[in-house]
Amino acid sequence: MATEKACKICRRLVTGNTCPACKTSDLSKNWKGILVILDSDSEIAKKAGILAPGRYAVKVK
């Protein structure tokens, strides 16, 4: 079902082979849960250490 991969650095969900934020190809297919960040100033984003809005994995192995 999930064709997306998660960036191992920022946990952003990526459909291609490179994370648009980190420019890394260090991606993992082994991730769980989706965290949708609409506002990077929100408490959730701060707690998760997320700086940009987007879709993120909750856990990346």
CB closer to Zn ion, 22 vs 35: 22
CB 45 within 8 A of CB 39: yes
Look-up: residue for tokens 């769980």? 32
Decide if residue 35 touches Zn ion (CB under 5 A): no
Q: In angstroms, give the least distance from the CB of 42 to Zn ion.
A: 19
Site for Zn ion (CB under 5 A): which residue of 4, 21, 53, 55? 21
Contact status, residue 12 vs residue 56, Cβ threshold 8 Å: yes
CB of 39 to Zn ion, least distance (A): 19
48 contacts Zn ion (rule: CB under 5 A): no
As a dihedral over the C-alpha atoms of residue 23, residue 25, residue 31, residue 35, rounded to 10 degrees, the angle is 10
